[in-house]
Amino acid sequence: MTSVHPSVALSSLPTLKEKSAWIAQEFESVFLEEMVRLMFKTLPKDGPFKGGFAEQITQSMYAGEVAKAIAKSPSGSLGVATLLQAQLDTITSPPMQNDGKEN
């Protein structure tokens, strides 16, 4: 999988709604990555690598990829991205006039 710099990916999105969706999904991915890393810390260190440096690096990369996969999955995500996007959309939407039309 090719990594894209976040600013490049964000700048390539045309609408503010798409940008807020991308930001929300990235936030959920980072949140999930931290959760997965904490879960890995509870695993026993008696495997083939015996908890060495190579195992730490491998688990760190694996945690990141698992988190990205969960965050991108509509059925597997925690819903944090959906809630965050809704909040971002209310903050970034133009204010309404009293007659219900946008300013």
* SS3 per-residue string spanning 80-99: HHHHHHHHHHHHHCCCECCC
Q: Counting runs of H as helices and runs of E as strands, what totals does the chain give?
A: 4, 0
Per the structure, the complete domain to which residue 67 belongs is given by: 18-89
**Structural domain contains residue 2:** no
**Structural domain contains residue 65:** yes
Distance of CA 1 to the CA centre of its chain: 16
Number of domains in the chain: 1
Q: For each of the chain's 103 residues, which pLDDT tens digit applies?
A: 334 445 556 677 778 888 888 888 889 889 999 999 999 888 777 767 677 788 888 888 999 999 888 888 877 678 888 889 889 888 877 666 555 555 5
pTM over 0.85: no
pLDDT of 35 reads: 92
- Nearest-CA neighbor of 77 among 40, 22, 32, 19? 32
**Structural domain contains residue 100:** no
**Structural domain contains residue 74:** yes
**Structural domain contains residue 11:** no
**Structural domain contains residue 10:** no
**Structural domain contains residue 63:** yes
**Structural domain contains residue 99:** no
